[in-house]
Amino acid sequence: MYKVDVEKQCGCIKKSDLEFPKTFESKEEAEWEALKIANYMNGNFCKKHRFFVNEEGDTFRIYVELSCPSIS
């Protein structure tokens, strides 16, 4: 079994309908889902955070970091 999980759940994640952890039979399916979720969150959430995926054994963990403010 492979897992998709989130390191820390920011307010955007808590307000969404996403639930973690998610489990999958194959590594490829878990990786695809983690990347899809991170991409969705980067495109649709508050833009104060950036989400990225890191593989850790049998878990694909989504990490949250503050986005850098844009320089004008």
Q: What is the pLDDT of residues 23-67, one digit of tens each?
A: 999 999 999 999 999 999 999 998 888 999 999 999 999 999 876
Distance, in Å, from the CA atom of 40 to the CA atom of 5, rounded to the nearest integer, reads 15
Q: Which helix (DSSP H) or strand (DSSP E) does residue 33 occupy?
A: helix 27-44
At 68 the pLDDT is: 59
At 12 the pLDDT is: 85
The answer to whether the beta carbons of residues 8 and 24 sit under 8 Å apart is: no
Q: What is the pTM of this model?
A: 0.85
Distance, in Å, from the CA atom of 70 to the CA atom of 63, rounded to the nearest integer, reads 21
Distance, in Å, from the CA atom of 53 to the CA atom of 27, rounded to the nearest integer, reads 14
